[in-house]
Amino acid sequence: MCGIVAYTGSNPAVPVLLNGLRRLEYRGYDSAGIAVNTPDGISIRKSKGKVSELAGLLGEDETQIAESTCGIAHTRWATHGPPTTINAHPHAGGKNGIVLVHNGIIENHHALRSTLTAKGYEFLSETDTEVLAHLVDSHYQGDLVDALTAALKEVHGTYGIACLSEKEEGVLVVARRGSPIVIGVGEGETIVASDASAIINHTRQAIYLDDHDIAKISQNKIDIRSSDNVPVSREASEIDWSADAAEKGGYEHYMLKEIFEQPEAIRNTIRGRMDSERGTAVLSGLDLSPRELAELQRMLIVGCGTSMNAGLVGEYAMEDFAGVLAEVEQAAEFRYRNPIVGSRDLVIAISQSGETADTLAAVREAMDKGALVAGLVNVVGSTIARETGRGVYLHAGPEISVASTKAFTSQVSVLLMAALKFSRSRRMSVEQGRRFVREIEAIPELVERVLAKNDEIAKIAEKYVDQTSAFFIGRGYMYPVALEGALKLKEISYIHAEGYHAAELKHGPIALLEKSVPVIALCNDGPGKDKTLGNVAECQARDSRVLGIVTEGDEEAMAAVNDYISVPPCPLHTAVIPSTVALQLLSYHIARLRGCPIDQPRNLAKSVTVE
Ligand code: G6P
């Protein structure tokens, strides 16, 4: 949510900043801005809309801006104040030429604004960030680090900040609390960003700031301090994916690329983690001591959005196979409802980004209550990964499209592996375990077979493109698939869509069914199929057109629906993945036919770092 880039070095800053913003645009894209040090002070350019509009503002005749070697930039997802040019970052403060960009929320901005106004500060925007700029100015006595350190002591809320002062040319000061800051260490240059995708073209050496760190960066020096101004040491680590991984690679959209990357992403997720001989999964990040295992009372899975939908599959598999009591819960609800959780509970936090504010807060709450806490995270070095200390990385590669695809299927793969691991340490026999291993290893190929139907799915999408509303239904393992299918459709096509348990449809939503409201029904062959086919008939009796996800060769299911997409035969716990891929493609093609901005849907952000 909001992307920050900053640069100081010996090369022109503007191209680095603009390229970085383009990489971070998935975090927010309603306005963008840039500020650079020049011999005449700090020049700021801002624009409503996307980064391309900002780039258009930076004319070649602006030599001083073009020659600057130090600057900061921002792409915004509006929280305080609508997406206007005035509200766009960077914001300038007071008389000392302080300019900053910010990702996060200053919760006490009203009170600070009143105090600063009383001191004579004038505000131009409605943002909480401008308050911060004036506050830093009010503490400035010639040293930007000192001023920022003092200002942040008065601030409640979250921030990732990059700050310039016109009196300290070539110096960047950055700070974090709750919103990520990565420092890319180059040769004679430093690039700071909200995530590694904006720095990977320049360097693979990354320092991830911890909460409360404040860093002063000049061309050749990075000096990191705690909030009490005590020097702290943060090791650089190597970014382990290539710059190409964050490119579109010939696909029209990142989303389509990421859908097609799923066989490889899942292979990477399971690589080296399956033990076919012992019939189990090796997930050292989920190793419990024999005592913890014996005392384990419950597994609680928390996440938001797509990650929570994946968690529901985990709940089912954990109870189904391992006999471990499992519950999934919205991270936002968990953190505020004073949950009963303790040392005999294992809390698994699922998050692609590892930065989602509510999931992070749930992790902290669970840790405070003494639970065992593990992260299931894609972004290496992210806050949840670091704070949980234990867990499993997805290794799905960077996910750029706002609508999550490959992260979901990798999350489900890990959860199935976790269910296998826990099952084997309880009642599951080695033979059953070996079968489970084979089922998980077959998933990438199942996905390839669905991807081969891309053109067929695109044709089916044509029939569903003009709807304003749709319902997705499923039961058992297919219920989370219905939730995820509906989420994908509404996110990227703006068609109102809801996922329901197939039986629950009768308790209300059926009142909305009519000819113009289609139903997408998960009718995979397995337990519950007959009942779902009964629900399909109920929908058709109310004139709804039904698109079924059916198992290849299942003539009964094919005959029962109006249109179908078939997925390869496999047990329902793994059918979750190919069935979801079919629905991802369906949503993609519907959105494409409707001309929607697929990778950057309106109002959404990839990483929600505010509550
Ligand atoms: C946002 C994204 C979703 C994502 C959710 C959780 O809403 O748009 O795609 O599922 O956040 O994100 P996380 O990074 O924690 O998985």
Percent of the chain with pLDDT over 70: 100
Which atom number of ligand 1 is nearest to the Cα of residue 304? Answer: 6
- Res. 270: pLDDT tops 90: yes
Percent of the chain with pLDDT over 90: 80
Which one from 2, 163, 523, 539 is the annotated catalytic residue? 2
Residues contacting residue 459 through CB under 8 Å, at least 6 positions apart: none
Pairwise CA distance, residues 555 & 519, whole Å = 19
- Res. 298: pLDDT tops 90: yes
Q: Please, what is the end-to-end C-alpha distance for the chain in angstroms?
A: 11
Is the separation of the CB atoms in 377 and 351 below 8 Å? Answer: yes
186-195 b/e with 16+ CB inside 10 Å = b?
beebbbbbbb
pLDDT, tens digit, for every residue of 514-548? Answer: 999 999 999 999 999 999 999 999 999 999 999 99
Residue 366 Cα to ligand 1 midpoint, Å, equals 20
Give nearest CA residue, ligand 1 atom 5: 305
For the four alpha carbons of 190, 191, 195 and 197, in that order, the dihedral sign comes to negative
At 82 the pLDDT is 86
Q: Which of 407, 429, 449, 406 is nearest to 570 (CA)?
A: 449
At 530 the pLDDT is 95
User: Does the beta carbon of 411 lie inside 6 Å of ligand 1?
Assistant: no
Is 2 marked active-site?
yes
Mean pLDDT computed over 398-421 = 96
Residue 312 Cα to ligand 1 midpoint, Å, equals 15
At 430 the pLDDT is 96
At 335 the pLDDT is 83
User: Does the beta carbon of 38 lie inside 6 Å of ligand 1?
Assistant: no
Mean pLDDT computed over 371-385 = 92
At 608 the pLDDT is 79
Residue 106 Cα to ligand 1 midpoint, Å, equals 22
Domains of the chain: 3-239 (3.60.20.10), 245-441 (3.40.50.10490), 452-611 (3.40.50.10490)
Complete DSSP assignment for 31-96: EEEEEEEETTEEEEEEEES-HHHHHHHS-TT-HHHHH--EEEEEEE--SSS-S-TTTSSPEEETTT
pLDDT, tens digit, for every residue of 201-253? Answer: 899 999 999 999 999 999 889 999 998 889 999 999 998 777 777 778 889 99
pLDDT, tens digit, for every residue of 499-508? Answer: 999 999 889 8
Q: Which band of pLDDT confidence, cut at 50, 70 and 90, is reported for residue 79?
A: confident
Q: Is residue 390 helix, strand or coil?
A: coil
pLDDT, tens digit, for every residue of 446-486? Answer: 999 999 999 999 999 999 999 999 999 999 999 999 999 99
Residue 289 Cα to ligand 1 midpoint, Å, equals 32
Is 606 marked active-site?
yes
Mean pLDDT computed over 26-50 = 91
Pocket test of ligand 1: the residue of 26, 194, 307 to mutate, having most ligand atoms within 8 Å of its CB, is 307
Q: Is the peptide bond before 15 cis (omega within 30 degrees of 0)?
A: no
Residue type, 434: R
Q: Which band of pLDDT confidence, cut at 50, 70 and 90, is reported for residue 61?
A: low
At 60 the pLDDT is 64
Mean pLDDT computed over 418-431 = 93
Residues in the chain: 611
User: Does the beta carbon of 309 lie inside 6 Å of ligand 1?
Assistant: no
Residue 569 Cα to ligand 1 midpoint, Å, equals 30
User: Does the beta carbon of 352 lie inside 6 Å of ligand 1?
Assistant: yes
pLDDT, tens digit, for every residue of 96-132? Answer: 899 999 998 899 999 999 999 999 999 999 999 999 9
Q: Which of 598, 104, 211, 115 is nearest to 400 (CA)?
A: 598
At 353 the pLDDT is 93
User: Does the beta carbon of 598 lie inside 6 Å of ligand 1?
Assistant: no
At 125 the pLDDT is 94
Is the separation of the CB atoms in 523 and 497 below 8 Å? Answer: no
